[in-house]
Every structure is written in structure tokens, then in C-alpha cells.
Structure 1
Amino acid sequence: MLQLLQRKPFDQITVRDICAEAKVHYATFFRHHETKESLLDAIAKDEIARLNQLAISIRNAESYEAGFEGLCAYVAEHRELWAILLNGGAGGAMREEWLRVSMEVAKGEQPINAWLPTELGTICAASLIAETLAWWVGQPEDAYSVSHIARILYRLLSTSIMAPD
């Protein structure tokens, strides 16, 4: 599916296309996934879960800046995949899943600021991170370093969402 998403939008991809690309029988696909959407959901959930866990564990151990550095390093290591997931035909579904997971994570977190409703802060933060990463992986690979993007994310979030009242 990821290779197909490089060539055409998700809504134009069929299960037969996926099977042909993967060289698997049509029935084999349905033993593992009910629909092409469920395959995309599985890919998105797996990647977002990895990214969120990495960022949370690093942030808890060190700082928000370290969390962004780890998050950006992971995306850089898997740049092609994230470029497809964020900028390919699955971008909308990917962002929806990112927001869903972020909302779940936010339920267990203390609000950063009293002035900003947690739900709105989560929406803004998830959107800001997703859109920044989507922009970054769309740039030439050597245009911005991991550290540069991590600093951008930290500054964007710390001056807007994490800013004191």
C-alpha cells in the first residue's frame, strides 16, 4: 500500500491493486484485513504509537526538547514512510489517527495551562506537530537537520500552547 500511495491517492487504490503490488492472492488480503482502510489504520496506528511512546518516554526522562529531538530522529530514520503517510493519499487518515491518539494520551496528562482547554490544546499541538513534520519530510532531505526541526517544534509549542497565562 505504501508504494501505491506514492503514485496515487488512497481513494483510487483498490484491494486488487494492493494484492498485485504485494504479489499476494486476493483472498489472502482478507485473512489479515477486512478492508484497505483497516490496513491503512493498522499502519497508521503502529507508526503513531511508536512515535508517541518515543516522544513521551524521552520527554519524561529529560525534557520537551529532548522529546522533540527523539521524535524528529525517528521520523528522519523512517523519512520515506512518514512522507507517504503524511503527504501521500493517506494524509487525512493519518492526521485523524494522530489526533485520536493524542486525545487519549492527553486524558492522562495534567493540563499545561489553565487558560487553554485541554482538548483545544491537544488539537492545536497535534496539528502543529503533524503539519510541521509533513512540511519537513516534503523538503529536500538535507535542507533541515533533526535538531533544527526539533527546535522549531519546541519553540512553536512553547511560545503558543505551553506559554504561561
Structure 2
Amino acid sequence: MVSEASATDARQVRTRAKLLRAMLTLLEQGPFDGITVRALATEAGIGYATFFRHYPSKEALLDDLAAGEIAGLLGEAMPLFSAENTGRACVALFEFISRRKALWRALLTGGAAPLLREQFVGQARRLAARFATPDTATCPIDLRFTFATSATIEIIGWWLRQPEELPKETIAGILDRLVITPTVAER
């Protein structure tokens, strides 16, 4: 027999998943600023008031969507990162984004870029804190991570806006040369 609490939890998980999918669908159709809570509820197949049981605002829903994507991206790329071979992590990053291109294009070009940037930089700063050591470098690690993350977002956005797609390996090499290698060399 399923307990009432686990049935409620399962229902909450399903509703949140529907809302995340609805946000993605609507971002692919138009800019974030044009999305309403009513449209999200309709797209998700839930009641308007139900939306607010899960999220206080559409921005909170977008934040949840972005956080999940960025965690997935970092989770896939960071284990491959090493100072000796930064290129592998860069290729993994663009492979991840390539598999979710519609979502990342919507996040970066549909009016959600500032929130995505904030979420990405926040996660990168938390990651930097794990690597923090008494640093004698001329540039603090927190600033290096913030700069590298912001530049990475700009390069991803540029790549996604190109009419003809550059190969993942090419754009990964550009990211590595312009951002990652100089950032790592600062250590």
C-alpha cells in the first residue's frame, strides 16, 4: 500500500516535471518576458493556483530549470577537466549543449540569459570555493571562475546564434584557447 505522503510526493514530482517541460516548450516558442503563469499552467495541464503551490513565480521556475541544466553540464564536463588536458572538458561541454540545443538556445536567446548567467556563475563560485587554497596568484580564484564562466556563456550564446553550426571540436578549441587555458595558467 502506498502511503499518502509518498503519493503526494510523487504527484509533486510529476507536477514539477510538467511545469519544467511547459517552461521549455514556451521558451522555444517565444521570449521569457512574454510567458505568463497562466500560459505555463495551461501548457502543463494544471490549474493556475496549482502553479503557486510549486513555485512562487515564473522566475523561480526558470531558475529551477536553469539550475538543473547547469548542474548537468558541470557534472558531465568537470570530471574530465585536468590542467594538462583542458580540451576534453571543453568538448564535453559542447557535446552536452549540442544534445540540448533547443533548450540552451531558448535559455540564452529567449530573455532568460541574465538568470542563466547568475545561476551559472553561482554554481561556478561554489565550485571555486571547493578548490580554494591559500592563493599566491595575482588573481583570486573566485574572480577567475566568475570571468571564465561569463566568457563561456558568451561563447556558447555566440555559437548557438550562428546560422551555420561550427563543429563542436572547433568551438571547444576556441573556448579552450580564449578562456580555459589562460584561466588555468593563472594558478
After TM superposition, the score normalised by the length of structure 2 is: 0.78
Quote the residue 2:74 is aligned against. 52
1:105-120 correspondence runs (5 A) = 105-110=127-132, 114-120=137-143
Q: Is the 8 A contact 2:86 2:181 kept in 1?
A: no
> Is 1:72 the equivalent of 2:129?
no
Residues 113 and 82 of structure 1, relative CA distance in 2, 3 Å threshold: farther
Q: 2:50 aligns with which of 28, 39, 58?
A: 28
Q: 2:170 aligns with which of 148, 151, 157?
A: 148
Q: Is the 8 A contact 1:113 1:162 kept in 2?
A: no
Matches of 2:68 and 2:82 in 1, distance apart?
21
Q: AA paired with 1:126? A: T
- Match of 1:162, SS state, is helix
Q: Is the 8 A contact 1:113 1:164 kept in 2?
A: no
> Is 1:137 the equivalent of 2:171?
no
- Tell me by how many angstroms 1:101 deviates: 0.5
Mean CA deviation greater in 26-35 or 15-24: 26-35
- Match of 2:42, SS state, is helix
Q: AA paired with 1:144? A: L
Paired-residue identity, %: 38
Matches of 2:60 and 2:105 in 1, distance apart?
20
- Match of 2:138, SS state, is coil
- Tell me by how many angstroms 1:12 deviates: 3.1
Residues 97 and 21 of structure 1, relative CA distance in 2, 3 Å threshold: same
Quote the residue 1:88 is aligned against. 110
Matches of 2:59 and 2:162 in 1, distance apart?
28
Q: Aligned-pair RMSD on alpha carbons?
A: 2.3
Give unpaired runs (5+ residues) of structure 2: 1-22
- Tell me by how many angstroms 1:164 deviates: 5.0
Q: AA paired with 1:120? A: L
Which structure is larger by alpha-carbon Rg, 1 or 2? 2
Quote the residue 2:3 is aligned against. none
- Match of 2:131, SS state, is coil
Quote the residue 1:162 is aligned against. 184
Quote the residue 2:148 is aligned against. 125
